[in-house]
Structure 1
Amino acid sequence: MGKDYEPAVFEKKWQERWQESGIWKADAQTGKPKFFLMFAYPGTSGFLHVGHMRGYTYSDVITRYKRMTGYNVLFPVGTHASGNLCQTFARKVERNDQSTIELLTESGASSEEIEKLKEPAYVAEFLSQVYINEYWKKFGFLADWDRFITTIDTGYKKFIQWQFRKLHARGMLTQKPYYGTACMECGPVAVDASETDISQGGNAEKQEWILLKFKMDDEFLMAATLRPETVFGQTNFWANPDVEYVKARVNGEVWIISPQCAEKLSFQKNSVEIIGKIGGKNLIGRTVMAPVIDREIPVLPSRFTDPDFGTGLVTSVPSDAPYDWIALQDLTNDPETCRKFGLDPEMVRNIEPIPIIESKGWGPNPAAEICRKMGITDQNDPKLEEATKEIYKAGFHTGRMRENCGQFAGKPVATAKDEVKAMMLEMGVADVMYDLSEPVICRCGAKVIMKLIPDQWFIDYGHPEVTEIAKAHVPKMNIQPQTYKDNLPGALDWFKERACVRMGNWLGTPFPFDERWTIEPISDSTLYSAYYIVSGAVNQGILDPEKLNDAFFDHIFLGNGSPDEVSKVTGINAKVIAGLRKDFKYWYPLNINLGGKEHQTVHFPVFLLNHAAILPDNMPKGLFVHWWISGKAGKMSKSKGGAEPIPDAASTYTVDGLRLYYCHISSPHVDVEWDPASVYNSRKSVERAWYFAGELLEMQGGGEKPIDAWLESQFHINVHKASSMMDDIKLREAANIIYFDIVNDLKWYLRRGGNNSELLRKAINAWIRMMAPFTPHMAEELWEMAENADMVSASRYPDTSEFNIDEKALEIEEYLESVLADISGILKMTGMIPKRICLYTAYQWKYEVQRMMAQEGKDMGAVMKHAQLVPELKSKSKEISAFASRLMKDMKRFGDGGIPVNEQNEELEALRAAIDLFGKEFSCEVSVFSGDEPDLYDPSNKRNVASPGKPGIHVE
C-alpha cells in the first residue's frame, strides 16, 4: 500500500473537518426519526483517565451508527460541578499540592491559569474545557457542543429550582430531623457508589447502634450493639485494657466511652462534655448492672474491642457471638492473664453461655458450634467475621426467641429485634448512635461522620403514585443488561425519603424555599436531559437565562399556556418559545441514558422517579449500564491515582485503537482489567485493517469468477448480522464481525483466486462504512482514498440490498472449507508431508438415499421400502441400512432443518474447481475422482467411506 498509517495526522485532520462541517449539530426535522442519547455527565473533580472513556466511547459509537442509519441524532454532553468537587480541587491548588501542580503543568496549564484555579467556579470552567477539548473532541465524538451544560450555569439553576417547585407541588418535599453523612470540614456529603462527594467508602451503609447503659456506681459503661434482642444472653462485659476511655456528660448522665465515640456523639447529641478519663485496665474486674436482665456481670479484658467501633466497649453474648465465645475461651485458658488483672480464674471458667435463640440448623450455642466447624481458635482469626455474619443471618431469618426471653419468648428474631429496642429506649436503659459501616473519606481528605441535622429537607420518593408510574414503565423500556431491568422495580420500591439539600459552602442551586440550603449533587442531576433541549438557545445568546421562570419551563416541558402568554411574563420572543416547545416535543422522550454500574442504585432510579413525578407522559425509553475498566487493584480512580491519563493512552495506542479496545474487549456488562498488551492488540487490529483495505483498493482489473457470488453473499450476511448487533447495542459482537469476520472473508476470497477489482471496491466501501462508528478517523481517511466525495460519517450505513445472496455459492465454499479442515486434520494427526492427495466423492446411490431420508424423515421403514422401488438400489439393502443409520444420527445433529441434500455432480465440480486451491494450500499434487468411476486409483478404498458432503481423502 502506498500510504502509511499515520493516526495522529488522521485524528487532527478529521476532527477539524467534523467540527467545520457541523455534522454534530442537532436540529429538529419534522418527518425524520430522532434518536436522543446522553451519558451521565462526569463530576469536575479532576483530570479523567482511560477508565472513564469506556462509556463515553459507547455513546459516540451508538450515535454515529444511528446517524448513518437515517436518524436525526441529539447527543449532548455536560459536566457536574455541584457539591464540593471544585472546592476540593481548588484547595489542593491553594495549598500548592505538589502532585496537583505537576499534573496541571504537564497538562499545559499556565501559571496564570493555575493561580485562577484557586477559585472553585474557575475549576468547573477549566475542567469542563479540558473534558471537551482534550478528551471528547480528541476521541472524535460528534456531540452537540452548542448544548453543553454545567450544573452551576444560571439557566441550569433556574431549571432545577423549577423542578423542585414541581416536586413540592406534588407533595414530595418534606422536612424533619435527620442523621446524615457529613464531612468534618465541608459539611454534608452524599455517600453512595458513585462517590460524587467522597474519595473512599462509597459502599458504606448507615448503621443504627443501640447504646446499652451498664450502671457502675453513678456512671454508665456504654456498650454498642447492632443486635438488641441478644441482651437476654449477656454473661460479661469486655473492655480493652490498652485503651484510655473518657467520661462524658451526655444529657445529664456520665457515660464511659472511647474518645472516638465521644467525638461522633458530639455531632449527634445536644450536649457532650468530656469531664474525665479512665484507663481500660482500671475497669477490669469491676462489675456492672446489665440492662433488662438486671444482673451484675464482670468486666473482663479483651483486645478485640476497637475504640473506633461503636463505643469501644462490648457486652458479651457468647452463645450467639463468635467473637465473644472465642475471647472467653482465650481468657479461660489463660489463668496468668486473669491473675494479672486481679481476676479469679475460677470465676472466669464458671461463665457459661446462655442459649437465647433457636435457629434452623444450629443448636443452643451456635457461636461455639461454628467456631469448631470453621477451626477458629483465637481472636485474631479473620474467619471470625464470616462466622459472625453466618450466625447472625441464620438467627435473623430463621430464629425464634427462647423461653428465657420474657415477653419476647417464641417471637421471630426479626420481630423481637425492633420490639426489644423500643422497650429499652422507653425504659431509658438504652440510647441510639448512628455510624457508618466502613471508613468514609471526603474529597477534601477529612473524615466523614454521621451528624444530626434538625431541619433537613427530603424528597419523598416513596410517593405511591409516582413509584407505581415508574415501576409500570420499566417493562416498556430498553434496559441493558437484562439483570438490571429485572432488579430495577425492586430498587424503585426501596427508595423512600432522600435528603436533598445541604448547608455550607457548596456549588450548586439554591433551594427555592430556603436559600440558606443548596440542592445536593444527586438531587440536581435527575431531569437534566430535558434541559438539554433549551441549553443550546441559552449558550448561543438566543435566551437570556435570567428570564427563565416557571411559566417558561411549564410551557416548554408541560405545554401549559401559550407562547404569547409566556412571552408577556418573561420578555422572551414568542417565536423562540414556540420553537423550543416544538423541539421538546420532537426530541423527547430520551432514548438512552448511559452510565456506569455505580449509577444503578442511585442515579438511574431517581432519574425515573423524577420523570414519573414531573414528566409522566415523557418517560425515558432506555437505560444502558456499563461496567468499569479497573486497574490491578480494583476500580480506577482519578482521586486515588494509578490510572493512565487519556492523552498518554491516545498517543500510545491511538484514538481508534482505544475505541476498538473498549468496544471489543468484552461485553459492556463486565469489569475489564486494563491490560496494555490487549490495548496494543486493538491498535494493531486497526492498523492491519488500514493496510489490508488500502491494498484491496489498489487492485486493478480482474474478471468475474464463481467466487464473486460467494463474496457478495458473505457481505449480505455480514451487513445483516452487524446491523442487527448494532441495533441491539451488542457492540462487541458487531466489532467482531467487522474487524475479524470480514477480514477473514476477504482473505478467503483472495485465496480462492478472486480478483474482481470492481466487486472489491464495492465490498471495501461497505466495509469502511461499517468501521466508521468504531474507528472513524481511519474510516474517513480510507473513504477519501476510495475517492468518495462526502464524509463517511455522513454516509448511509450499508444495507443488505446492496449485495445479492447466492445460497448455492455459500454452500460450495462452506463445503470446501470443511474439506480443507479435514485434510489439515489428517496431516496434523499423521505428521505426513504430502506428495499427493486424492479426493473421492461418494457413490451415486448414497446421494439417492440421502434424498429419500430428507423426504421420509426418521421413518427407516419407509426409506427401505422406497429404496426397494429403485432398481439400482434393490441389491444394496444391507449397505443402505448401514448408511441410513449413520444419516439418522446426522438428522439429530442438523435438528429441525433436516439434513442437507447434496448432488454428486456439484461436489465433483466444486472439488475440481478447487484443485489449485488445495494444491497451493498443501504444496502437492491433487486429484479428484467420482466414486462411481471404474478402475479409478484408490489404494486405500477411500471412496467406500465417502459420504455426500464429505469426500474420502487419501494422502501419500
Structure 2
Amino acid sequence: MCISEYVQVQPHPKPPQFATWSNQNQPPLNPTLVVVLVLLLRHAHAGLKNTQKEYPGTKPDSLSLAFVVLRQNLHKCSRNALPINSLLLNHSFHQHSDMAGEGGKSFARRDRLLQIEHDVRKWWDEEDVFRAESCEKPPEPGEKFFGNFPYPYMNGYLHLGHAFSLSKLEFAAAYHRLRGANVLCPFAFHCTGMPIKASADKLAREIQQFGDPPNFPHESEEEIDTVQEAEEANAGAPPDKFKGKKSKAASKSGGQKFQWEIMRSFGLSDNEISKFQNPYNWLTYFPPLAKEDLIAFGLGCDWRRSFITTDMNPFYDSFVRWQMRKLKSMGKIVKDVRYTIFSPLDGQPCADHDRASGEGVQPQEYTIIKMELVSPFPPKLGVLEGRRVFLAAATLRPETMYGQTNAWVLPDGKYGAYEINDTDVFILTQRAALNLAYQKYSRIPEKPTCLVELTGYDLIGLPLRSPLSFNEIIHALPMLTILTDKGTGIVTSVPSDAPDDYMALHDLKSKPALRAKYGVKDEWVLPFEIIPIINIPEFGDRAAEKVCKDLKIKSQNEKEKLADAKKLTYLKGFTEGTMLVGEFTGRKVQEAKALIRSKLLEMGLAIMYSEPEKRVVSRSGDDCIVALTDQWYLTYGEEEWRKLAEECLSNMNLYSEETRHGFEHTLSWLNQWACSRSFGLGTRIPWDEQFLVESLSDSTIYMAYYTVAHLLQNGDIYGSSRSSIKPEQLTDEVWDFIFCGGPYPKSSDISSSILNKMKQEFEYWYPFDLRVSGKDLIQNHLTFSIYNHTAIMSKKHWPRGFRCNGHIMLNSEKMSKSTGNFRTLRQAIEEFSADATRFSLADAGDGVDDANFVFETANAAILRLTKEISWMEEVLAAESSLRTGPPSTYADRVFANDINIAVKTTEQNYRDYMFREALKTGFYDLQAARDEYRFSCGAGGMNRDLVWHFMDVQTRLITPICPHYGEYVWRILLKKNGFVVKAGWPEADSPDLTLKSANKYLQDSIVLMRKLLQKQVLGSKKANKKGAPVTTLSEDNRLAGLIYVNEQFDGWKAECLRILQSKFDSKTRSFAPDGEIMEALKNSSVGQAANFKQTQKLCMPFLRFKKDEAVALGAQALELRLPFGEIEVLQENLDLIRRQIGLEEVEILSATDPDALAKAGTLVSLLNQNPPSPGNPTAIFLTRS
C-alpha cells in the first residue's frame, strides 16, 4: 500500500454505528508528510527501546517531545489525519500491552470486545431494554429505582471525568435492574449559562479580527519561546513525562490560544467552525454526539426522557418559569442589593458555573479606614489641594485602630489617586479602585477615574490623621511584604497586636540603613511606641511583641514564622481578648468588633469594601471583582427554610460521613444566592425578562421533569416534534397538579388521560432514590436541590440519597489537556473498549478522595475478559470431559461455598455502592476460587453442574460493570433466554464460614509444608544450616511426608486462653486492662505452680499473640480447638497435598499418639523444635524405599 493510501485507512476498524468524525476540509499541512514523520518516529522509538535494553541510562526525552509536538499540531491537518492520531495513540499507550500478537502490537482482543459491544447494543436497541414505564399501583419499597446524574454542560465532548461520576450511577442502576427492580436512569444536557455564549462571541471576534477562516500568527516569537521553554522544562523529566509551561486558562483549553483552534481540536472543519458564532449551533451539535458516546458506553438510559435546557426547549422553559414563579410567590425569591462576584467584561454576576477558576470563592468584606492626608500636600499631589485626600487602608480588624502608629505602603507598588466623589479622593491600587467603582464609590459609576498616578515611594512620609488613633499625626512608612492583589495596597499599622506590623516597625527603628534607603526620617518612626489596646490571656497586652520573641523572629522577611505568629494572636485575640481602651473598654473583642465598625461607618470615618477572597476568572477570561448589584436572589439561609433543608438532610442516605459534614457546613454558611443574570443562554425571569435564570438555579428540581418529559416532548430532546400537548397549555395550575398535589386544573384543555398519566408517572418514580455527583457540587447545586425540593414539594417527595465522589486522575496524575494526560469518553472507548473502560472506572476507587484510572488496568481488563470468554468457549466445547453427577467432593463443596460467598458479599457491596469491592468479590475473588478449584480437582476433573453454575453466577455478578460482556456470554455461550441485565440476582445458600475457614487452613498448611520441605531436604540453603537434621534424596527412594496435628490446646496454653475468654468483649473486640489479665493468670493453676516464673516467660508472648488474633478475628481465635477437624480436612485432601508439595506418600498423624510419633524415628526431634498446635500442623519428611 502506498503511503498516501495509508492516510485514508483507519488502523483500528471501528464497529458500525459508532460515531466517527466526518472528513471535509483540506489540510494546511500535507498529511502524507505527517504519516512519514509518524512512521519514522515510531521506528526510531523502537530502535531506542532496543538501545535501552543494552544501555539502561538512555533517555528518549527528545523523542517523547517530538511525539507530543506532533500530536498537538495534528489540528492543522484535516480530519483525514485522525488515523495518524490513532497511530500516535497506539505508540503512546499500547506499546506496553501484552495483547494477542507478538510484541503486544495486535489489537485483536480489544477489537473483539468492540465488536461484541456493537452487537449487544443492537440487541438492546431492538428490544428497547432500558425503557422505563410506571405502574398505576404505587411501588413497594425496593420495587423501583430512580437514579440521576447532574446533566453535563454541552460545550465539548464528554470526558473520563464525566464518565467516572456517571459510572457510579450506572453501576447502581444496573445492579437494581439486575435484581429485578423497575429502573429509571434518564440523562439530559445542560446548555444554560454563559460559557457557550462567551465562546461563540469569542469566535465571532476572532473571525472579525483575523478573517474566515482566520489567519493566526502561529509562528510568533511567543510560540517559539513556549516550545523552547517546554524543552527546557523537560530536560530533567522522566522519559514518559512531558510537562508544558501553560497557564491555568491554557490548561482548560488544551493549550490552544484561540477559540477557533479549540474548535479544530474537536475535529471540526474550517467550513463548519464559523457556524458556531451562533450559540444555538452548539446546542444542536454536541448533545447528539454526547448521546452517541453514552450509548457506546453502555448507559442503560431511557432516552425518550432526554432533553436540553434553555428556551430552545419550550417545554423545559415552561417548567423553569413555573418553578421561579412558585418560589417568588412563596417569598423565596426577592430583589435586593448585595455584594456579588462580578465580571466587568460580561457585565453580570459570575456564578460558580460561569467561572474558569475560583469556584466556591465568596466576597470578602473589609472596612476601609479613611486616613486623611494633612496639608500642605507634596508637589506630586499639589493638583489635589482643596479636596479631601485619604489613604484608603483596608482592614479586617477595625477594633484595633486605637493602636495605630503609622500606615504601610509598598515602595515599588503602583498606586493612584482616584476620584470617589466631588470632594473625596482615595489613594489605593487600581484593582481596589475598580472594585470600589462597582460598589458606588466612583464619581463616574463603574469607571474609576485616576487623577494622579503614584508609586509607594511618593507616599512615604505623608502625614496622616487616622480615625481612633491616639497619635494625632502618623506617617506612611515602607513595608516590603505588602501584597497589592489583596486589599487596597495601603495597610494600617497596629504593632501591639499584628506581628507583621511589630516586626516591620522594629526593623525601621533598629536599622538606620533601612531608614536611609527609603528616605525615612527619624521623627516619623522613633517617637512611636507600642500602644496596648487589647489584653489576651497568655500573651498580655503586647501580644505581637511576645509571640514574635517566643518564636525568635528576627525580621519582617521571615514570612512563615510571621504567618504562625499571626494565627496565634488573631484567633486568640478575637475569641479571648478584652478591650483595654476606647468606648467599649472591658468588652470582649468579638463583641466590640462589630460595634466599633458600626461607629466608624456612622461617623463617616470608614466605608465598607468587598473583593473576592481569592482570584476568580470568568469563562470569558476576565478577572472578576465584587460589585454591589441589584438582583433577584433566592433566600437560602433564611432560618425556617434552612430548618427544612436540615430536616431533609438528616433523613437522607449520603454514604459517607465526610459528605454529610460537607452538607452540614454548607448549610451553616450559605445565604442569599443570585438567581438572575443578564448574559448567556437560558430561561427568562418570568416577571422581569431583562434577566435570565442563572445556570444553577434552573437545575435544582429538574429530576422531576424526567418523569414527564417523554409525554411532553415525544422523544425529541429539543421539544420541537409534534406533541399532543403545546407548551402554552402548561399553566402553573397544570404543573402544580402534576408535582405539588394541586387540584385538578379544570380550565386546562389537556386531556384528562394525559394529565392523569403525567401525575401517575411523577407519583410512581418520585422521590428519586439516588443522585450521584462530584463532591465539588455539595457547596452549591446539591444543597440548592435540597432547599428547592423542601420548598416546592411535599415531604414524601424529598430526595432520598446523594452519593458524592472525588475527582479522577489518570495514571496517578491530574487529568489535563495541556499535558496530554486527558481522554474524552470517545477516545477511551476506542482505545480500550467500553467494558474495559467501565472495568477500570470501577477499579479506580469508591470514596470521596480522588480516584485513579489506570491505563494498565484497562489493558489488563481487555486481556481478562477475552481470556475468560476463550476459557468458557473451550470448556463448553469439551463439556463431555467434565465430571457429571451432583457435586460431592471436598473441592466441589469448597468451590460451591466460594460461589455462595461471592454472591452474598458482592450483593452487599453493590447495595453499599462500593463498586471497587464488588469488582473484587464478584470477579477477582471468584476467578481465584475457580482457578483453585481447577487445580484441586486433579485428574478427577471439574463437576459439570458446578462449572455451569459458576459461569452463570460470574456473568451476572460482573454484568453491572461489564454489561456487553455479560450479555454476550449469556446469549451466545450459555444459550440463555432474555437479557442478563434483567436476569435476576443469583440465588445462593448461606455461606458456610466453617468450610471457608477449613479451606484456608488447608491452603495455609500446604504453604507451610512447602517451607518445611525446603528446610529439611538435603541440598536447600536452609537445610544446609549447621546442625539441622536433613533428609537425603536418591533415585531409588520415595519422598514421604508425615504431617502431625495437635487439634487442641492443653496445659498452660489452655489456661491462658480460658483467662483471655473471660476478659474479652466480643462486641467491641477489646480486652480488660493487662493488669487485670495478669492478676487472673497469677491466681490460676498456672500461676500457683512452682515453676511459674519459668512458664511466665512462655505465657507472655502467647498471650500477646492471641490477643492480637482475637482483635482481628473475633472470639473464635480464643477457642481451644478449631471449629473443624484438622485431621479430617487434611485426610480428605491427601491427593491435593501430594500434588502440591511433590510427595509420593503422605500420612496425617496425631501429635498426641505415641505410635504416630514413633514413625518419625530419629527425626522426631524436629517436633520438639517446631511443635504443632491448633491451626499450625508440622511435618517431617523422610525417604522410603
TM-score normalised by length of structure 2: 0.73
Write the deviation string for residues 625-660 of structure 1: whole angstroms up to 9, x where unpaired: 111114699864679985333323333333222222
Cα distance in 2 between the residues matched to 1:828 and 1:81: 69
Q: Residue 420 of structure 1 aligns to which amino acid in structure 2?
A: I
Alignment of 1:669-684 (within 5 A): 669-673=848-852, 675-684=854-863
Q: Residue 702 of structure 1 aligns to which amino acid in structure 2?
A: L
- Whether 2:707 is the aligned partner of 1:533: answer yes
Write the deviation string for residues 20-78 of structure 1: whole angstroms up to 9, x where unpaired: 32112111134561100001112223333222211111111110110011111111111
SS in structure 1 opposite 2:799? coil
Match of 2:288 among 112, 129, 133: 129
Does the aligned pair in 1 maintain the 2:371–2:467 contact within 8 Å?
yes
- Report the counterpart of residue 186 of structure 1 in structure 2: 346
Match of 2:936 among 745, 752, 766: 752
SS in structure 1 opposite 2:896? helix
SS in structure 2 opposite 1:117? helix
Does the aligned pair in 2 maintain the 1:395–1:413 contact within 8 Å?
no
Alignment of 1:492-571 (within 5 A): 492-502=667-677, 504-540=678-714, 541-562=723-744, 565-566=745-746, 568-569=747-748, 571=749
- Report the counterpart of residue 536 of structure 2 in structure 1: 359
- Report the counterpart of residue 408 of structure 2 in structure 1: 238
- Report the counterpart of residue 1043 of structure 2 in structure 1: 840
- Report the counterpart of residue 962 of structure 2 in structure 1: 775
- Which segment is superposed worse, 241-250 or 338-347? 338-347
Measure how far apart 1:575 and its partner are: 0.9
Cα distance in 2 between the residues matched to 1:354 and 1:856: 69
- Report the counterpart of residue 583 of structure 1 in structure 2: 761
Q: Residue 936 of structure 1 aligns to which amino acid in structure 2?
A: K
Measure how far apart 1:742 and its partner are: 0.7
Cα distance in 2 between the residues matched to 1:316 and 1:844: 80
Alignment of 1:403-422 (within 5 A): 403=580, 405-422=581-598
- Whether 2:433 is the aligned partner of 1:433: answer no
- Whether 2:823 is the aligned partner of 1:666: answer no
Measure how far apart 1:592 and its partner are: 0.8
Alignment of 1:894-933 (within 5 A): 895-897=1114-1116, 907-931=1126-1150, 932=1153, 933=1155
- Whether 2:950 is the aligned partner of 1:763: answer yes
Does the aligned pair in 1 maintain the 2:812–2:854 contact within 8 Å?
no
Does the aligned pair in 2 maintain the 1:246–1:276 contact within 8 Å?
yes
Write the deviation string for residues 492-539 of structure 1: whole angstroms up to 9, x where unpaired: 34333222112x232111112211111111111111111111111222
- Report the counterpart of residue 797 of structure 1 in structure 2: 985
Cα distance in 2 between the residues matched to 1:262 and 1:301: 21
Does the aligned pair in 2 maintain the 1:47–1:638 contact within 8 Å?
no
- Report the counterpart of residue 336 of structure 1 in structure 2: 513
Q: Residue 951 of structure 1 aligns to which amino acid in structure 2?
A: P
Cα distance in 1 between the residues matched to 2:868 and 2:199: 43
Measure how far apart 1:237 and its partner are: 1.2
Change in 2 beyond 3 A, CA 1:360/1:121: farther
Cα distance in 2 between the residues matched to 1:99 and 1:19: 40
- Whether 2:256 is the aligned partner of 1:256: answer no
- Report the counterpart of residue 267 of structure 1 in structure 2: 438
Change in 2 beyond 3 A, CA 1:621/1:475: same
Does the aligned pair in 2 maintain the 1:44–1:128 contact within 8 Å?
yes
Q: Residue 940 of structure 1 aligns to which amino acid in structure 2?
A: V
Q: Residue 166 of structure 1 aligns to which amino acid in structure 2?
A: K
Change in 2 beyond 3 A, CA 1:827/1:137: farther
Measure how far apart 1:744 and its partner are: 1.1
Change in 2 beyond 3 A, CA 1:424/1:148: same
Cα distance in 2 between the residues matched to 1:130 and 1:229: 59
Write the deviation string for residues 209-229 of structure 1: whole angstroms up to 9, x where unpaired: 211111113421111111111
- Whether 2:733 is the aligned partner of 1:733: answer no
Change in 2 beyond 3 A, CA 1:807/1:592: closer
What is the percentage of aligned positions where both structures have the same residue? 27
- Report the counterpart of residue 247 of structure 1 in structure 2: 417
SS in structure 2 opposite 1:930? strand
- Whether 2:1173 is the aligned partner of 1:954: answer no
- Report the counterpart of residue 871 of structure 1 in structure 2: none
Q: How many residues align?
A: 927
Q: Residue 644 of structure 2 aligns to which amino acid in structure 1?
A: I
Q: Residue 1160 of structure 2 aligns to which amino acid in structure 1?
A: Y
Write the deviation string for residues 782-827 of structure 1: whole angstroms up to 9, x where unpaired: 22222223332232121225xx755665454233112123224546
Does the aligned pair in 2 maintain the 1:248–1:257 contact within 8 Å?
yes
- Whether 2:498 is the aligned partner of 1:321: answer yes
Alignment of 1:21-60 (within 5 A): 21-30=127-136, 33-60=143-170
Write the deviation string for residues 112-169 of structure 1: whole angstroms up to 9, x where unpaired: 54222211122133222232212x2221101121111222122112111111222122
- Whether 2:1160 is the aligned partner of 1:937: answer yes
- Whether 2:361 is the aligned partner of 1:209: answer no
Cα distance in 2 between the residues matched to 1:177 and 1:592: 37
- Whether 2:459 is the aligned partner of 1:283: answer yes
Does the aligned pair in 2 maintain the 1:161–1:511 contact within 8 Å?
yes
Q: Residue 731 of structure 2 aligns to which amino acid in structure 1?
A: N
Does the aligned pair in 2 maintain the 1:697–1:764 contact within 8 Å?
no
Cα distance in 1 between the residues matched to 2:725 and 2:1143: 78
Measure how far apart 1:260 and its partner are: 2.1
Q: Residue 702 of structure 2 aligns to which amino acid in structure 1?
A: Y
Unaligned runs of 5+ in 1: 861-866, 868-877
- Report the counterpart of residue 203 of structure 2 in structure 1: 93
Measure how far apart 1:842 and its partner are: 3.5
Q: Residue 917 of structure 1 aligns to which amino acid in structure 2?
A: L
Q: Residue 769 of structure 1 aligns to which amino acid in structure 2?
A: R
Change in 2 beyond 3 A, CA 1:308/1:9: same
Write the deviation string for residues 832-858 of structure 1: whole angstroms up to 9, x where unpaired: 589646243446887999999999996
SS in structure 1 opposite 2:779? coil
- Report the counterpart of residue 154 of structure 1 in structure 2: 314
- Report the counterpart of residue 874 of structure 1 in structure 2: none
Cα distance in 2 between the residues matched to 1:853 and 1:244: 79
Change in 2 beyond 3 A, CA 1:852/1:68: farther
SS in structure 2 opposite 1:741? helix
Does the aligned pair in 2 maintain the 1:904–1:948 contact within 8 Å?
no
- Which segment is superposed worse, 145-154 or 2-11? 2-11
Change in 2 beyond 3 A, CA 1:691/1:234: farther
Cα distance in 2 between the residues matched to 1:518 and 1:724: 46
- Report the counterpart of residue 312 of structure 1 in structure 2: 489
Change in 2 beyond 3 A, CA 1:749/1:266: same
SS in structure 2 opposite 1:221? strand
Measure how far apart 1:188 and its partner are: 2.6
SS in structure 2 opposite 1:954? strand
Q: Residue 927 of structure 1 aligns to which amino acid in structure 2?
A: V
Cα distance in 1 between the residues matched to 2:527 and 2:1056: 85
SS in structure 2 opposite 1:137? helix
Measure how far apart 1:314 and its partner are: 1.3
- Report the counterpart of residue 863 of structure 1 in structure 2: none
Measure how far apart 1:690 and its partner are: 4.4
Cα distance in 2 between the residues matched to 1:439 and 1:953: 71
Cα distance in 2 between the residues matched to 1:198 and 1:385: 33
Change in 2 beyond 3 A, CA 1:637/1:761: same
Change in 2 beyond 3 A, CA 1:856/1:517: closer
- Report the counterpart of residue 299 of structure 2 in structure 1: 141
Does the aligned pair in 1 maintain the 2:1045–2:1172 contact within 8 Å?
yes
Does the aligned pair in 1 maintain the 2:612–2:626 contact within 8 Å?
yes
Change in 2 beyond 3 A, CA 1:81/1:238: same
SS in structure 2 opposite 1:424? helix
